[in-house]
Chains A and B, each alone.
Chain A
Amino acid sequence: GENVEQHPSTLSVQEGDSAVIKCTYSDSASNYFPWYKQELGKRPQLIIDIRSNVGEKKDQRIAVTLNKTAKHFSLHITETQPEDSAVYFCAASKAGGSYIPTFGRGTSLIVHP
Chain B
Amino acid sequence: DAGITQSPRYKITETGRQVTLMCHQTWSHSYMFWYRQDLGHGLRLIYYSAAADITDKGEVPDGYVVSRSKTENFPLTLESATRSQTSVYFCASSTNSGKGEQFFGPGTRLTVL
- A-to-B contact residues, CB < 8 Å: 6, 32, 34, 36, 42-46, 49, 89, 93, 95, 97-101, 103-106
Tell me which residues from 13 to 42 in chain B have a Cβ below 8 Å from any Cβ of chain A: 31, 33, 40-42
Secondary structure call for the A interface: loop
Closest residue of A by beta carbon distance from B56: A98
Question: Within the complex, which residue of A44, A97, A99 is in contact with B43, where a contact is CB–CB below 8 Å?
Answer: A44
Residues 34-63 of chain B: 1 if any A CB is under 8 Å from the residue's CB, otherwise 0?
000000111111001010000000100000
CA distance A34 to B99 in the complex (A): 10
Which residues of A are found within 8 Å of B98, using beta-carbon distances?
95, 99
Interface size classification for chain B: 20 to 34
Shortest CB-to-CB span from A92 to chain B, Å, is: 10
The chain B residues found within 8 Å of chain A, CB to CB, are 31, 33, 40-45, 48, 50, 58, 90, 94, 98-102, 104-107
B104 A101 Cβ-Cβ under 8 A:
no
Q: Find the residue from A36, A44, A45, A97 having the highest chain B CB count within 10 A.
A: A44
Q: Nearest 7 CB-CB pairs, A to B?
A: A105-B42, A43-B104, A99-B100, A103-B43, A32-B100, A106-B42, A46-B101
Q: Are B90 and A43 in contact (CB under 8 A)?
A: yes
Residues of B within 8 A of A46 (CB): 101-102
